[in-house]
Amino acid sequence: MALSLNVYRHRLLTSLRTLPTPRGWLLCAAVSAATLALMLVIGFVTGLYRLQPTEPGLPLRMLVVFFIPALGEEIPFRGLLTPGPNESARPRLEIAVSTALYTAWHVFEAVTFLKSAAGIFLRPDFLLCCAVLGLGCAITKRVTGSIWPAVILHWALVVVWQTWLGGVSALGQ
């Protein structure tokens, strides 16, 4: 049976109002470290990431990335689609679907309204990193019931990528 709109509304509002417990934050830190480590391995092995001098405009980038993509993508993919603790009889399926849709979203962006990013967004290694990030964010939402650890993880990794790992120059190609 499909979830009703009220379930999605409740799921989103609860995830926005909930903050993790201290134990939840520790678990999120562990998930974040594993997500970061796996993404770094993928990115450096494949050449997706390359160390570079700091890109200018860090304060503005930090602000913009918080809203787009971090909060803007976490609301639908984790806030709406990923269940909180004890919320679903099929959490693995819902997490897999939200992660797959999140990854596919980047393909959609690249072929529609963000064509300047197609060179990077359509790379298999980039999409694999998207899936890893999506899964890490989904796990933090599932175990804590809060969207905020996912927003922070997403925000931090995109800021680092754009500022020190070649993301800004890659998006401009």
**Torsions phi, psi for 31 (to 5 deg):** -65, -40
Residue whose tokens read 């939200």: 98
- pLDDT of 172 reads 64
- pLDDT of 93 reads 96
- pLDDT of 2 reads 57
- pLDDT of 168 reads 84
Residue whose tokens read 């709109």: 5
- Contact of 140 with 154, CB cutoff 8 Å: no
Q: What is the DSSP string of 17-60?
A: H----HHHHHHHHHHHHHHHHHHHHHHHHHTS----SPPS-HHH
How many beta carbons lie within 10 A of that of residue 138, not counting itself? 27
- Structure-block tokens of residue 79: 């806030």
- Contact of 136 with 32, CB cutoff 8 Å: yes
Spatial separation of the C-alpha atoms in residues 84 and 79, rounded to whole Å:
9
Mean pLDDT by 10 residues, the chain (173 residues): 79 97 98 98 97 94 97 98 91 96 98 95 98 98 98 98 89 62
